[in-house]
Structure 1
């Protein structure tokens, strides 16, 4: 089993009042950026975010389904994302399950990873191959350092907002980059890892864009980190 040098908080994560976290509809990448920072600040996560991972969910067609979503207009909670972003917290404390922090989900906040996968991603649900979901996993300390968005993807051809942006300033990376969201959501099957092991874990802790796994590999990936 591959290991890392993570240090984990000693307490079990209780349910949180989701309204105390910043949330702007349609800006899930920025919501998760702010979420990771806050979890570190209030002591729910490691101060440096070493136990947090940012997960981009999409595919080559930019049509990935999810369920238990508050924005859905359907009774079953199904939506079709071009991409979605959540935070996974690796607990590593005995039998305490890893947690998913998803500000757009109708599930408990946070919710155990296995429950989130079965209720939201639902890999057992039969989909056409073109709509299978892929997951880019980025270690939060790397994401918080390198991610940038000037929100250009939310403007139309003449510069008007398609959806109103967050009230805070756009995110600029530590190296001065003003926009690289496209790099994170460019997720294709050719990039999916085919072999799990130490090299994979080393990659997620060192690569700016992390690693890409299939929806069926998501739980297995986090089980490697101890």
Structure 2
């Protein structure tokens, strides 16, 4: 079961009210109604993840190198496009069909150095809400000062009391990429704490239709 468009639109309105640009992983988690969605952490071991059409860019093409990035992927039961992407840092329309988002923002056809090849950690929202924690320490400099003003709402704490485990979600290596021979991809996404890792977002989602 997935959210109806009416509930999702209500959630999106709330999402923008709470939105704080430098705290992307916290923004999504503040929305309790998103429990039937999927989340994807985009990242690279080098911590340089290229994405286009990003609001933070000063370039005409919107290119930004993120240390990591989070998008929300909505599964639709009906309609031409089964998966829609919500990226609050993007200048592209919201929501955008997965294929359009991949071609315009991720640009897999663009020839980039192997060190910048993106990997994707996909996790079912209820699992993420249960286990994810961030006390925002990664947003402080070496002197303990905020590099950006934190949002007013409380930091995310996991159900077991864990205060910070962001590193578990963004530390990734090529060997983590799922293989049909070694992993049940649906089981990984919908039941495992850290979900599943893929190197091709569109191909991955054909596995969980």
TM-score (structure 1 length as normaliser): 0.84
Shift of 1:8: 3.0
CA distance in 2, matches of 1:87, 1:117: 13
Number of residue equivalences: 207
Q: Call closer, same or farther: CA 1:203–1:17 in 2, change over 3 Å.
A: closer
Flag the 1:8–1:155 CA change in 2: closer, same or farther, 3 A. closer
2:58 counterpart of 1:34: no
Aligned with 1:205: secondary structure?
helix
Matched, 1:161 2:146: yes
Contact 1:135 1:218 in 2 (8 A): yes
Out of 134, 156, 160, the residue aligned to residue 119 of structure 2 is: 134
Task: Check whether the contact 2:15–2:27 (CA below 8 A) recurs between aligned residues.
Answer: no
Tell me if 1:147 matches 2:143. no
Q: Does 1:69 align with 2:54?
A: yes
Q: Secondary structure at the match of 2:30?
A: helix
Unaligned runs of 5+ in 2: none
* Inter-partner Cα distance in structure 2 for 1:62 and 1:73: 20
Question: Does structure 1 conserve the Cα–Cα contact (< 8 Å) formed by 2:39 and 2:122?
Answer: yes
RMSD: 2.2
Change over 3 Å in CA distance of 1:96–1:197 after alignment to 2: farther
Change (3 A) 1:18 1:71: farther
Contact 1:90 1:222 (C-alpha < 8 Å) held by counterparts: no
Corresponding residue number in structure 1 for 2:92: 107
State the match for 1:192 in structure 2: 177
SS of 1:88's partner is: strand
Question: In 1, Cα distance between the equivalents of 2:159 and 2:99?
Answer: 34
2:81 to 96, 100, 104: 96
- Give the whole-Å Cα distance in 2 for the aligned partners of 1:211 and 1:195: 11
Q: Judging changes above 3 Å, is the alpha-carbon distance between structure 1 residues 87 and 163 closer, same or farther for their aligned structure 2 residues?
A: same
Q: Deviations over 1:139-184 (max 9, x none)?
A: 1000011111111111122211111111111111111000000101
The two structures have a TM-score, normalised by structure 2, of: 0.91
Answer yes or no: is the 8 Å Cα contact 1:17–1:109 preserved in 2: no
**Structure 1 gaps, min length 5:** 1-6
- The range that moved more, 26-35 or 58-67, is 26-35
For residues 122 and 129 of structure 2, what CA distance do their matches in structure 1 show?
13
Aligned partner of 1:222 in structure 2 is 205
CA–CA distance in structure 2, aligned partners of residues 165 and 17 of structure 1? 20
